[in-house]
Amino acid sequence: MITMTFETLELPLARPFVISRSARTAVTVVRVHLTDGEYRGSGECTPTPHYQESAESVTEQLVLIQPQIEQGLSREALQQVLPQGSARNALDCALWKLDAARQGKTVWQLLGVTPPATVVTAETLSLDTLENMVAAATQAVAGGAKLLKIKLNREQIIEKVAAIRNAAPHATLVVDANESWAGLDLESLFHALHDFTVAMIEQPLPAGNDHDLVRCLHPIPVCADESCHQRSDIAKLRDRYEMINIKLDKCGGLTEALAMSTEAKALGLRVMVGCMLGSSIAMEAALPVAVQAERVDLDGPIWLAQDAEPALRYHQGEIWL
């Protein structure tokens, strides 16, 4: 018999986090805890209003499925009972941890994977004035950051990237438009960004309205984020994207994320693993799929005023395992 509990927490940020469509000074997460009396497993999710989620909607889903979880619902069955999204993510990750604990193993060992010593992660530059973004880039690379993710909207795109490249001449740069570039001359923009050795452009157009990418020549790989939530989305994206961004909160947990990684590679798409804002509980859960990815963006905890314990160690642009 399993006992399931859950809690909603508001985690203050150390500094505002701004993207093209929103700004945050705190993040709301829901944590799920499972125990059989001897062993425990926990998972964390970040409900996303952009995907019609809230802490209340996630909690409602958890209440409904609680009897089945406590009666021993398996991870495999969970995939069919709950839709993809934050609630399933927290439960799926908690079940992985509980199953591993019961077997005296880590999740890595359950998967038959030897973790590397470190994983390079992006450090995100929140949308801000050009001067503040350059200052943030300068600080990040001084601290050892190797990969910078630049949040942009429609304003000063080239100017900001040029200034950040000047401040971070050796860093890998990726750009995230968060769906904000509809109506722009994308082909000219992509070629201009190529001059600054931008390695990837993430979700330039709104999900569901990204068909213009089919006809747009782009010398930089384009990555689907908001356009790609789960395995069934991948095949139809091959004519417009070179890469997909897998996030556990979008796809509904580690189980689906691993399957997405396999599917994407089989279809010739490259893989990035990303995150919503959240604590080390959420980032640690994504690491087994992150080690299979070309790009990793799991910097959520470095934005928090206080991380969960035990906290992952972030140092010089890497997560130390």
Q: How far is CA 306 from the centre of its chain?
A: 19
Q: Strand pairing partners for 176?
A: 151, 202
Question: How much is the pLDDT for 156?
Answer: 98
Asked if the structure places residue 280 within a domain, the reply is yes
| Whole-prediction pTM | 0.97
Largest Cα–Cα distance in the chain?
60
Question: How much is the pLDDT for 217?
Answer: 87
| Cβ count within 10 A of residue 49 | 11
Which residue is listed with tokens 């010398």? 219
Point out the residues that are catalytic: 151, 247
Whether 221 and 269 share a structural domain:
yes
Whether 85 and 136 share a structural domain:
no
Q: Which of 168, 112, 173, 106 is nearest to 141 (CA)?
A: 168
Contacts of 148 (CB under 8 A, 6+ apart): 122, 123, 124, 125, 137, 140, 141, 164, 168, 171, 172, 173, 174
CA–CA dist 304, 300 (Å, integer):
7
Whether 97 and 169 share a structural domain:
no
Q: Which of 252, 246, 276 is nearest to 89 (CA)?
A: 252
Q: How many domains does the chain have?
A: 2
Q: What is the β-pairing status of strands 118-120 and 123-125?
A: unpaired
Whether 81 and 141 share a structural domain:
no
Of the three residues 72, 105, 138, the one that is the final residue of a domain is: 105
Question: How much is the pLDDT for 309?
Answer: 94
Asked if the structure places residue 111 within a domain, the reply is no
Whether 206 and 275 share a structural domain:
yes
- CATH for 49: 3.30.390.10
Asked if the structure places residue 250 within a domain, the reply is yes
Q: How far is CA 179 from the centre of its chain?
A: 16
Across the chain, which has 321 residues, the per-10-residue mean pLDDT values are 97 96 95 98 97 98 98 96 97 98 98 96 98 98 98 98 98 98 96 98 96 92 97 96 98 98 98 98 98 97 97 98 93
Binding site for Mg(2+), by residue number, is: 176, 202, 225
Asked if the structure places residue 112 within a domain, the reply is no
Whether 91 and 165 share a structural domain:
no
- CATH for 243: 3.20.20.120
Single-letter amino acid code for the residue at 196: F
Host domain of residue 153: 118-320
Of the three residues 53, 82, 105, the one that is the final residue of a domain is: 105
